């Protein structure tokens, strides 16, 4: 009787952890979709000849600012796409491996280390995508409000607000991801120490 209870509680805890992981991965995919939308909006500003709202000629961005915008938008898109694809692959594997209908002699074993590594890869890719998106948004601000070097109050206010809020959000995200993935990070650090 106690074996049946242990199996039931083990199955129940596995279902709960699978649901939590699926919800977290859904959140990553949804947020990455919103960031991707922001990337395409930012790319619409990358056409030469656009004038800023600042009337001084020395504050007009050059072609280099437009090139940087495109490069950073592409880098951001690449990291966010990588993050979303890894998250989608993890969701697919969790769904398939935790399905109740396992028949025809097919048995499954969920490799927790591999899943945690995938979650870590998703988190790192998301952070990198956000950093490159922030840098590209700095270029958008310069294109719309004038170069930061001109010292216009509106440009400085926009850049300061963007950097403070994004960096604060990223630090919180990194802390929570580190706390959640801590056992996997400890294993990775000890692995690299053994190799040296």
Residue 123 domain flag: yes
- Domain of residue 90 covers 27-101+108-194
Query: Structurally, how many domains does the chain consist of?
Result: 1
Residue 39 domain flag: yes
Residue 32 domain flag: yes
Residue 186 domain flag: yes
pLDDT tens digit string along 30-46?
777 777 777 777 667 66
Residue 4 domain flag: no
Residue 180 domain flag: yes
Residue 12: pLDDT above 60?
no
pLDDT tens digit string along 53-72?
677 887 788 889 889 988 99
Answer yes or no: pTM beyond 0.85. Answer: no
The secondary structure of the chain, three-state, reads: CHHHHHHHHHHHHHHHHHHHHHHHHHHHHHHHHHHHHHHHHHHCCCCCCCCCCCCCHHHCCCHHHHHHHHHHHHHHHHHHHHHHHHHHHHHHHHHHHCCCCCCCCCCCCCCHHHHHHHHHHHHHHHHHHHHHHHHHHHHHHHHHHCCHHHCCHHHHHHHHHHHHHHHHHHHHHHHHHHHHCHHHHHHHHHHHHHHC
pLDDT tens digit string along 57-114?
877 888 898 899 889 989 999 999 999 888 888 888 777 766 655 555 454 566 777 7
Instruction: Please tell me the predicted confidence (pLDDT) of residue 189.
Output: 47
Residue 9 domain flag: no
């Amino acid at each position: 009787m106690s074996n049946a209870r242990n199996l039931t509680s083990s199955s129940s805890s596995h279902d709960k952890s699978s649901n939590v992981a699926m919800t977290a991965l859904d959140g990553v995919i949804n947020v990455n979709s919103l960031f991707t939308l922001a990337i395409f909006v930012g790319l619409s500003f990358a056409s030469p000849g656009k004038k800023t709202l600042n009337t001084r000629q020395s504050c007009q961005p050059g072609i280099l600012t437009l090139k940087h915008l495109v490069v950073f938008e592409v880098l951001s898109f690449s990291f966010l796409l990588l993050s979303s694809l890894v998250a989608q692959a993890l969701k697919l594997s969790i769904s398939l491996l935790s399905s109740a209908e396992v028949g025809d002699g097919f048995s499954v074993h969920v490799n927790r280390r591999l899943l945690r590594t995938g979650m870590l890869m998703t988190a790192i890719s998301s952070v990198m995508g956000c950093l490159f998106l922030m840098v590209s948004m700095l270029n958008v601000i310069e294109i719309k409000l004038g170069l930061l070097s001109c010292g216009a109050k509106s440009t400085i206010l926009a850049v300061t607000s963007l950097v403070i809020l994004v960096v604060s959000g990223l630090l919180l995200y990194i802390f929570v991801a580190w706390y959640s993935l801590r056992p996997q990070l400890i294993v990775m650090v000890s692995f690299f120490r053994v190799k040296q």
